[in-house]
Amino acid sequence: MLSFFKTYYQKILRNGIDAKSLAFSVSLSLLLTTFPIYGLTTVVLTSLAIKYKLNLPLTLAISYSMEPLRFLLFIPFIHTTENLLGLENTMININELTHTFKEGFLMNIQLLGILFSKAILGWLFIAIPSSITFYYLNLNVFSRISIKRKVLATS
């Protein structure tokens, strides 16, 4: 029984170790980790990793380690959308947020909805093209590493 679990977990850890799968795992993790809405990343990454037979532990480890990027990129995503679409710049500070809380719940929901929609558009403008670029860079690196491993293994 113990050997069954051992082989099962070894199979999971070795799944998706070729260069294409590793590059796709890393790029997909970074793409979805920077998505500005919270709570969906782990479920979506797990389902995509299982569907495309990617390395699930690597995908989730990258996602969890890059979680601070979500906080760091939220405001730049908003400003990117405002600059690209020519919208009025949003000045986000603690005084404005406390003022909107005093105005009422609906005002606060409206402001947060606008900010999240701007952040999602900024994510679409930045994260998707950069993750495609990052995929090809990773594919190049992982392909070179796998070639070196094959050469070392044959010698």
pLDDT digits (tens, 9 = 90+) for 116-142: 999 999 999 999 899 999 999 989 888
- Residue 107's closest CA among 92, 93, 97? 97
Lowest mean pLDDT among 25-29, 37-41, 53-57, 98-102: 98-102
pLDDT in tens, 25-46: 889 999 999 999 888 888 999 9
Residue span of the structural domain in which 12 resides:
2-154
What is residue 89's DSSP assignment?
A: P
- H-type helices in 34-104, by residue range? 41-51, 56-65, 68-85, 94-103
| Rounded CA separation 48/32 (Å) | 11
Query: Which residues contact residue 69 at a Cβ distance below 8 angstroms, ignoring those fewer than 6 apart?
Result: 30, 33, 34
Give the number of domains in the chain: 1
The dihedral through the CA atoms of 75, 77, 83, 89 has a sign that is: negative
| Rounded CA separation 44/29 (Å) | 10
SS3 17: coil
The H-or-E segment that residue 138 falls in is helix 105-154
Instruction: For the full predicted model, state whether its pTM sits above 0.85.
Output: no
| Rounded CA separation 28/84 (Å) | 25
